[in-house]
Structure 1
Amino acid sequence: MYSDSGDDRQQQPGGEVGELHGAAVVLRPTTATDITTLDRIVREPEVAAWWSVPDDYRDMLAILCHDEVIGAIQFSEETDPEFRHASIDIFLTARRHGQGLGTDAVRTLAHWLIHERGHHRLTIDPAAANTPAIRSYRKVGFQPVGIMRAYGRDHRTGGWADGLLMDLLADELT
């Protein structure tokens, strides 16, 4: 179900990513032609409530369903051997919410980060009020670690919002 085509394009320092195939989605490095679509998606009110407009989409992977770009996912890696782990962030067009596609994208990237990049632990940090995202991440196997108070900007109010730190150990990936 999950495979890396071996495209060997750079995602993050040290994180070469080709095309990754999930059950229903394909993840691939973004291209210049994806930027307009991704910029439109991140500005949708349902997405903008949780995401800032990125400065650059080049370090992301486009999420495709039936060859249509429906969002983006990104990762970062801590490479210090004492604290080695990776983190994930994702956004998906509102019209594809609730269809399991975000869960599939997170699971696909998590699988690659664990089995190809050798991470034993992954983190994700949704807004504590973003219950649909939290539910999706739990389906992959992420567990709540704790609330990070006043963690990030609340794009709805302009104030600070709590975040929920969640993590997944390699043997917990579902």
Structure 2
Amino acid sequence: MELNGDRVLLRPVASGEDKVLAGIVSEPEVAAWWSPPDDYDDMLAVVFEDEVIGAIQFDEENDPEFRRAGIDVFLTARQHGKGLGTDAVRTLARWLVRERGHHRLTIDPAAANTVAIRSYGKVGFKPVGVMRAYWRNHRTGVWEDGLLMDLLAEELT
């Protein structure tokens, strides 16, 4: 599977790229929000100008009464603020809606991650509510709040 965005390409993580992604997750600006995953195999590499700059993943709830998909993404700090994360999220969101038939998507950044929240808002995600003590910060051990955001298919920009 390859998904072409306006500026990024999303594709399966290739052999050896787990080391690149592990390096990105260890960057202080990324590690503030992401714990190192056990495995990168279920993620898609985010590629910009032939360089892996991060990863994006999704999960799906297929119970017909609660059907939805969720998205998570991280990019190297070097590429923050350039609209590439927004492009990656929008590209995956379009695929989840158009190809996988989801009517609703969710994303759940840390409530303090204002940069990510602003980026997701550009795709059309809207705040639903604060999830108190939602995620445990692996660096501090402190439970922190998350912001639940969702996007209905017709709101996708």
TM-score range, shorter chain: over 0.9
TM-score by length of 1: 0.89
Q: How many Å separate the matches in 2 of 1:156 and 1:60?
A: 23
CA RMSD of aligned residues (A): 0.7
Q: Which runs of 5+ in 2 are unaligned?
A: none
Structure 2 counterpart of 1:25, one-letter code: V
Give the TM-score normalised by structure 2: 0.98
Paired letter, 1:136? S
Which contiguous aligned blocks of 4+ residues in structure 1 show a shift greater than 3 angstroms? none
One-letter amino acid matched to 2:25: V
Measure the CA separation in 1 of the matches of 2:139 and 2:38.
Answer: 20
Name the structure 1 match of 2:5: 22
Q: Which runs of 5+ in 1 are unaligned?
A: 1-17
Q: For residues 140 and 37 of structure 2, what CA distance do their matches in structure 1 show?
A: 19
Secondary structure at 1:32's aligned position in 2? coil
Residue 115 of structure 1 deviates from its aligned partner by 0.2
Count residues with an aligned counterpart.
Answer: 157
Name the amino acid aligned to 2:94: H
Q: Percent identity?
A: 74
How far, CA to CA, are the matches of 2:50 and 2:41 in structure 1?
A: 19
| 1:37 and 2:25 correspond | no
> 2:104 matched to which residue of 1?
121
Mapped to 2, the partners of 1:141 and 1:162 lie a distance apart of 21
Q: Equivalences for 1:56-135 in 2 at 5 Å? A: 56-135=39-118
